[in-house]
Amino acid sequence: MEKIAKHRIIGLDREMMSFTDWLADPRAQTSIFSISGIGGIGKTTLLLQMARTARQSSVRSLWLDGQGGLTTSGAFLASLEMSLATEYGGTRAPESALLPYIVNELQLQRTVLFIDNGEEIEKLEGWLFSRFLPELKSARVLIVCASRNGLPLKWQTNPEWKSQIQRFPLRLFTREEVYDYLDGSGLSAEWQRAIAEKTEGHPLSLALIVDMLLSESAEQRDVWREVPAVLSAEFLREAASPGVYRALTVLSLLPAADENMLNRLLDTPLEGADYYHMRALSFVRDTVDGITLHQVVARMLRDDFARRNPAQFEAVRHQAFVLLAERFHSVDQRMQMRLSAHILELYREFLPSAHAYANFSSSLKPGEQKPFRQEDMPYLQRFLQASIRGSDWQSELVDSADYPVLLEEIAAHFPEGIFIVRDEKGTPLAFCAGVWLHALSMPLLERYAPGCRGMLGEEASALHRLPPEAADTIFVLLSAVNSEQSLYRPEELGALLMQQWLVHMTGGLRGILAAGDPQLNSLLSILGFKAYGKATGYAGIELMTWELDFRQTSFDEWIQRIIRQTETAAGQPAYQREDEYPLAIDRSVMKQMLEWLFDPDKLEELPVVRRLGWDGMQVRDIIQGILADGRPMEPLTLLEKEILITSYLRKDRNKSQLAASFHMSRATFYRHMRLAEKHLAFVLSDLMRSGF
């Protein structure tokens, strides 16, 4: 299902330039363009734009659609004859054979032959190479074939034609192109920002969302749920069996999987033939680690799975967390970092969507990870200066007057301590800079951040003797994002910087940083950092120092924290031992607590309450105290508190009325309420473990 946007065509400059170059070249020979990409990426849109350009250049264009059945030479030639007749009034004499007639027509004038939905063109390969294409050697014909996987390998290796083939795999929109697409849509700046942050630059997804928001029924529609449902149906059109459909939804929860791993999460084992069928799908890629889904398709399938069957989705996602945790120590460092990134992607729902330092709801993906280059320095210094002016994104360990020279020192002597998040073009968007702790770097650390001496304690002496090649700890001193551009919110970039830095650490490293901001401290705790000690900032303020240590087996602790937060009514996870985290509360238990909040006797029946030896009144008072507190308690937001209060404490309206009062659809309201129950369960579990 391809759809042409109502807005001007964007993001296809390279392809259109090659096309117009062929049209303008008086010596152009017969050539082949192969357009490829997943459903909705813009293949048909591109072909239509090329067809309009051809007409404006007075070049004949003929259109064939593979969905009409171009699987035989007869059908192919008949479709060409019909196109010539309907578009240009061409008629074939009764005594003239079809192939010579078509070849003669194509040799008469420059022609562009468009083949849309050309997935089955391989069935014509033998005839095309032996009979049809040789006749066009001396003609001036451009064949533009659009298909999900591109032209088969035989085309790309054919000795006579491979030099005449150009391949154009279509890509997703960049953030800049998304805003370009939305320009003139009539949508408010707030809606445009929400669309840019929640989509992944998929053209059809953007077109559907804009159409829905501009429709008369927009207020009653939850586009963030409807669009994944529509597109999932489109992507899964290629899945020929229910078994493949189920396996694809499971695969959406894994970074990569072979048949055995998929079967561990499937109720019914996958048939061997189905697995091979999956490998051939346009949005599935074969890798050394197994098959993997295109990132947009995976996101859409997860969203649709969560909408259709939230309980089952949560249970399978929980199983995926456990499975990935088991795999972590048996794979190499490259795969460990990939697993970490995927776990954070699945974990995103449990991270704060609105925070002073980070917004994890965005689907923003980083550009290619490249080490620091000297040409990056002007960007980084500009970010720091903006940070100083705004009193934001600063390190209280270092005097702000020393930021520029400290960054220059790190770049000159320890450039490996600079970590940069870049956009699609490689331009820096955010960075953090620190030093790897060893004998050569400790003097610099102590010169600019003297407060670290007391915090490192006895370890400082050992670090002064440690050779650089043995360093495994980075001390972060500076951090800033590009807050002056309009494409990304600072909180988006902050979240991306933290996520990418965290993934980097999971490769077997330790990270240390210090903060005096309570909000940042709460966020670091959610991300799995552990309080390391106290430090004194440059202005004499007391800072909390945080450590994230993945040098040994700490990944297990980190993943267990995630697993505890994602427990569901499906039962206790196999990964959890009875003596570990005995007070963890899952969402189903939290829901029971809320429903029985005013019945202390029933509350006392719950196993978790009995283990604590508390009475029902104590539990009720604690829960009411959490909800009555006018501050967010990460990951529980103020909005989620209000939803729980109106749903379980006031109980003066039905669900439809409640949804309307929060300006949400019923489906959206239920989703927010489930999240609120999960987040309250996490807050209450932490309070119980700390002996509240």
Q: How confident is the model at residue 573 (pLDDT cuts 50, 70, 90)?
A: very low
Residue 16 vs residue 587, higher pLDDT: 16
CATH number of the domain within which 498 lies: 3.40.630.30
pLDDT of residue 288: 83
Question: What is the rounded CA–CA span in Å between residue 28 and residue 601?
Answer: 86
Cα distance between residue 335 and residue 316, in whole Å: 22
Q: Which of 211-215, 363-367, 440-444 has the largest mean confidence?
A: 440-444
Q: Respond yes or no on whether the N-terminal peptide bond of residue 635 is cis (omega within 30° of 0).
A: yes
Asked which of 533, 552, 571 is the last residue of a domain, the reply is 552
Computed on alpha carbons and rounded to an integer, the radius of gyration of the chain in Å comes to: 30
Task: Identify which of 115-119, 597-601, 673-677 has the greatest average pLDDT.
Answer: 115-119
Are 268 and 397 found together in one domain? Answer: no
Interacting residues of 110 by C-beta distance below 8 A, sequence separation 6+: 23, 28, 59, 60, 140, 141
**What size, in residues, is the chain?**
692
What pLDDT is attached to residue 597? 87
Q: Are residues 294 and 416 in the same domain?
A: no
335 with 388, same domain: the answer is no
Residue 30 banded pLDDT, cuts 50, 70, 90: very high
More confident residue, 408 or 400: 408
Q: Is 574 contained in some domain? A: no
Q: What is the mean pLDDT of the chain?
A: 82
Confidence of residue 557 (pLDDT cuts 50, 70, 90): low
Q: Which of 496, 525, 552 is the last residue of a domain?
A: 552
- Residue 290's SS3 state is strand
pLDDT for residue 393: 52
Supply the pLDDT for residue 296: 83
The answer on pLDDT for 39 being more than 90 is: no
Using CB atoms within 10 A of its CB, is residue 464 exposed (0-12), middle (13-18) or buried (19+)? middle
Together in a domain, 485 and 625? no
- The least confident of 182-191, 445-454, 663-672 is 663-672
Residue 579 lies in a domain: no
Q: How many domains does the chain divide into?
A: 4
Residue ranges in 600-665 assigned as alpha helix (H): 600-603, 607-612, 616-628, 638-644, 655-661
Cα atoms found within 13 Å of the Cα of residue 688, Cβ hemisphere only:
21
pLDDT band at 356, cuts 50/70/90? low
* Nearest-angstrom CA–CA distance, 331 and 245: 28
Note the pLDDT of residue 383: 93
> Is 60 exceeded by the pLDDT of residue 249?
yes
What proportion of the chain, given as a percentage, has pLDDT over 90? 24
The pLDDT value given to residue 36: 92
Over residues 552-567, the mean pLDDT reads 62
Confidence of residue 3 (pLDDT cuts 50, 70, 90): very low
Segment 193-219 mean pLDDT: 79
Domain presence at residue 662: yes
pLDDT > 50? residue 283: yes
Structure tokens at 394: 């600063």
In a domain, 450, yes or no: yes
Q: What is the percentage of the chain residues whose pLDDT exceeds 70? A: 88
pLDDT at position 574, please? Answer: 38
Q: Same structural domain for residues 49 and 153?
A: yes
Are 260 and 396 in the same domain? no
Query: Confidence class of residue 391 from pLDDT cuts 50, 70 and 90?
Result: low
Report the candidate in 44, 42, 130, 114 with the shortest Cα–Cα distance to residue 79: 114
Of 191-200, 228-237, 244-253, 567-576, where does the model show the most confidence? 244-253
The domain in which residue 122 lies consists of: 13-169
Do 402 and 544 fall within a single domain? yes
In this predicted structure, which of 50-59, 367-376, 386-395 has the lowest mean pLDDT?
386-395
For residue 361, tell me if it sits in a domain.
no
Please tell me the predicted confidence (pLDDT) of residue 464.
93
Does residue 450 surpass a pLDDT of 50? yes
Decide if 369 is inside a domain.
no
Q: Which of 315, 350, 385 is the last residue of a domain?
A: 350
What is the average per-residue pLDDT within 71-100? 88
For residues 539 and 390, state if they share a domain: yes
Residue 444 pLDDT more than 90?
yes
Is 357 within a domain? no
Are residues 491 and 592 located together in one domain of the fold? no
Q: pLDDT confidence of 667, banded at 50, 70, 90? A: low
What is the model's pLDDT at position 1? 34
Helices H, strands E: what count in the chain?
31, 13
Please give the pLDDT value at position 617. Answer: 86
Q: Which range among 4-18, 381-395, 408-422, 654-668 has the greatest average pLDDT? A: 408-422
Question: Is 692's pLDDT higher than 60?
Answer: no
Band the pLDDT of 253: cuts 50, 70, 90.
very high
Helix, strand, coil fractions of the chain, as percent rounded to 5? 55, 15, 35
In the structure encoding, which two tokens stand for residue 450, read together? 């003297």
Query: What average pLDDT does this structure show over 285-294?
Result: 87
How far is Cα 501 from Cα 452, in angstroms, rounded to an integer?
21
Q: Could you tell me the pLDDT band of residue 571, with boundaries at 50, 70 and 90?
A: very low
- Residue 262's pLDDT band, with cuts at 50, 70 and 90, is very high
Asked if 430 and 493 count as a contact pair (C-beta separation under 8 A), the reply is: yes
313 domain residue, yes or no: yes
pLDDT value of residue 560: 67
Q: Are residues 154 and 244 in the same domain?
A: no
426 and 341, same domain (yes or no) = no
My answer on whether 622 and 682 are in the same domain is: yes
pTM of the model: 0.65
User: Which pLDDT score, from 0 to 100, does residue 553 have?
Assistant: 53
> Can you tell me the mean pLDDT for 75-97?
87
pLDDT recorded at residue 365: 65
